[in-house]
Structure 1
Amino acid sequence: MADKVLTRLEEGVLLHEADGRLIYANPAADALIRLHPVWTEMRGQLDQMIPVQAIADARAHPDWHGIVPFLPGRMLDARLYWLGPDAGRFLLLLKDGVRLRSDDEQALQLRHEELNVRFNAAQEQLLQSEKLASIGQLAAGVAHEINNPIGYVHSNLGSLQEYVGNLFALIDVYERAMRAHDPHAMRSEIDDTRERLDVDFISRDLPQLLTESRQGIERVTAIVRDLRDFSRSDREHAWRLADLHAGLDSTINIVWNELRYKATLEKDYGTLPMVECLQSELNQVFMNLLMNAGQAIDGEGVISVRTGHEAGQVWVEIGDTGSGIAPEMLQRIFDPFFTTKPVGKGTGLGLSISYGIVAKHHGRIEVESTPQTGSRFRVVLPVRQPHVVVAP
């Protein structure tokens, strides 16, 4: 009965989870979503449809009423209701037909849309800045990781240069001996030269030097590739299927020199399907959680990375045996600029940005922590990004 009533309403009715993910839209709401390119692309994500402040106001009051821009010259009357912590959902009502009536109002709407564009650009810039800040924080460790293989490749090249000179010297002896037409003298000079230049040792050491040098160059190539994949922006990249294990491994390669002296790593990877996502943004989440895990450990400890797949969802869990989080702080850890670290040790944006990225992926972050025992952060993501659910 309720479904029949909702399908006949001209007013758009939408139901969102607490993280902003759309789980229901009646036909009127679905029609509005399909007309708005951003709403369609973001699959009806709540914070893309109404101001972020409106969400906070609805939680506090527990409702919000306002006008939101829709199409040029057209606005929507919006009402947002917080259904309470037990339900953990928002109800959004959208009413069409609110039209601009003057040039001043139209200019106001254009200004509002311009501010939205600037806000989205600033948000993207903030994400990119946080990525680069993270790499800057790890720069010394990354430089050390690159310097080690470069160091022994450089040393090997010196040895190779000497070996090549010795082998050319032996070739010269062969050529002189061949021209002398004296087999006995030829054999004696060649043997003396081989012994003096230690050619037998060169023949054993040369393949090993080449193998080590190639491995060193491959190591540097891998580090550079991991940095490139991590730091690039996804602005020009569409949602695509990605291997989360590859993203985790590349992120661990970047951060591990920072963590290896205080923690051991335990990996327990399950079998994961390819996941529809923006992989470099998820790599930022993994880096933030790994760095937080390392900073929570005072002395020596363990960082664990586990993955799994169940019921159309995948999860990535990063845990530590560190100091844990006090219960009164758990409610604030995702707030922007909130940090328990000393001044200069953190911006307070890492977990806030991570929360936003996971919400954009229609996922969630679960946290369990016990003071003096450790913390566990679990990122749960859908295998495929959900589409708008339309009432029959």
Structure 2
Amino acid sequence: MQSNDADRMSQLLCDLKQANPQLLQSEKLAAIGQLAAGVAHEINNPVGYVFSNLKTLAEYVRDLLCIIDATDQVGSLEELQALKQSLDYDYIRDDAKALIAESEEGIERVKSLITALKDFSHIEEDDFVFVDLHHGLDTTLHLANNELKYKAEVIKEYATLPHVECLPSQVKQVALNLLTNASQAIKNHGVITLRTGHEGERIWFEVSDTGCGIPPEHRDRLFEPFFTTKPIGEGTGLGLALSFSIVQKHGGQIEIDSEVGQGSTFRVWLPIKQPRRVEQEQGQR
């Protein structure tokens, strides 16, 4: 009997391990879908004023071409100057520069959002690489900005960190899950603080919120698959479970500090170098 139970448990663990990539992909696609409306809004704003600027620039080009064509027709320099004055040439010249600069800024905003979404949507990653964790956190914040800005002031408290060996998009997934949970824990408007630190051979980042906090009876179940305190239809219950799985895969851990009515802090510890790399470097000495 014990042998059969052990076999069933072994098979269950094997099935869960095989299902994990699909669960990760499902949760990531769900997160992208959740952010889609916010990203669309963030993109729509700069696209709107770039479109408006192009219409104005088109009118300016028409007037400038009129001035250029007039150089072959006017009888005197005074006539040309009068035409320039009537078309408000000095204003056109200054405003055109401002419109182009503003449009370039808008396009850069759109590009950065698309890049953030593209980076986040990488489902399959096989190779651990050294990356700037702060860059990944900033990309995630940028992507989630539309959801966060209406719920909380976001404060960044970054320490000086070495580059960290990780699977970048999966670490961003963890950060996004924690930021989203922090936002949803705040009922009206509060503060979300994103901190980083470095101790020995490990780094950490944490997300603190001034939300409702987590009841003690729920804390031991937070990382269980499909466990959620959200109303039906508002959460899959996979976000924290998959975040826990990702952090474990990296050889790290997640710590929780929460008080009901005061808020919560989730701290993620990650090794600077993966254990296999440390073993390789020690073997070469």
CA shift for structure 1 position 190: 1.1
Matches within 5 A, 1:103-114: none
CA shift for structure 1 position 125: 1.9
Matches within 5 A, 1:45-124: 120=17, 122-124=19-21
* 8 Å CA contact retained: 1:363, 1:382: yes
**Partner residue of 1:214 out of 92, 95, 104:** 104
CA shift for structure 1 position 234: 3.0
More moved, 290-299 vs 237-246: 237-246
CA shift for structure 1 position 333: 0.6
CA distance in 1 between counterparts of 2:86 and 2:107 reads 32
Q: Secondary structure at the match of 1:339?
A: coil
The residue type paired with residue 91 of structure 2 is F
Q: Which residue of 2 aligns with 1:274?
A: 163
Q: Which residue of 2 aligns with 1:310?
A: 199
**Partner residue of 1:322 out of 204, 207, 211:** 211
Moved over 2 A (4+): 64-69, 118-122
CA distance in 2 between counterparts of 1:331 and 1:67 reads 25
Q: Which residue of 1 aligns with 2:283?
A: none
- 1:265–1:234 CA distance, 2 compared to 1 (3 A): same
Q: Which residue of 1 aligns with 2:44?
A: 147
**Partner residue of 1:170 out of 67, 77, 80:** 67
**Partner residue of 1:288 out of 158, 161, 177:** 177
* 8 Å CA contact retained: 1:226, 1:254: yes
- 1:325–1:222 CA distance, 2 compared to 1 (3 A): same
Larger helix share, 1 or 2: 2
**Partner residue of 1:358 out of 230, 247, 261:** 247
CA distance in 2 between counterparts of 1:320 and 1:349 reads 20
CA distance in 1 between counterparts of 2:179 and 2:8 reads 41
**Partner residue of 1:133 out of 25, 30, 48:** 30
More moved, 249-258 vs 189-198: 189-198
Q: Which residue of 2 aligns with 1:340?
A: 229
CA shift for structure 1 position 122: 3.2
- 1:299–1:119 CA distance, 2 compared to 1 (3 A): closer
CA distance in 1 between counterparts of 2:59 and 2:175 reads 46
With structure 1 as the length reference, what TM-score do the two structures score? 0.67
- 1:125–1:66 CA distance, 2 compared to 1 (3 A): closer
Q: Which residue of 2 aligns with 1:371?
A: 260
CA shift for structure 1 position 120: 4.8
The residue type paired with residue 124 of structure 2 is D
Q: Secondary structure at the match of 2:71?
A: helix
Query: What is the number of equivalent residue pairs in this alignment?
Result: 274
* 8 Å CA contact retained: 1:173, 1:189: no
Structure 2, unpaired ranges of 5+ = 280-285
The residue type paired with residue 227 of structure 1 is L
Larger strand share, 1 or 2: 1
Structure 1, unpaired ranges of 5+ = 1-56, 58-63, 70-111, 181-185
Q: Secondary structure at the match of 2:258?
A: strand
- Quote the sequence identity (%): 52
- 1:329–1:253 CA distance, 2 compared to 1 (3 A): same
The alignment's C-alpha RMSD in Å is: 2.1
Q: Secondary structure at the match of 1:369?
A: strand
> Is 2:69 aligned against 1:187?
no
Show CA shifts across 1:285-316 (max 9, x none).
00000000000001010000000111010000
Q: Which residue of 1 aligns with 2:282?
A: none
CA shift for structure 1 position 67: 11
CA distance in 1 between counterparts of 2:257 and 2:222 reads 12
Show CA shifts across 1:317-373 (max 9, x none).
100000000011111111111111111110110000000000000000000000000
Q: Which residue of 2 aligns with 1:160?
A: 57
CA distance in 2 between counterparts of 1:234 and 1:241 reads 17
* 8 Å CA contact retained: 1:234, 1:281: no
CA distance in 1 between counterparts of 2:61 and 2:196 reads 50
CA distance in 2 between counterparts of 1:66 and 1:348 reads 28
CA shift for structure 1 position 138: 1.5
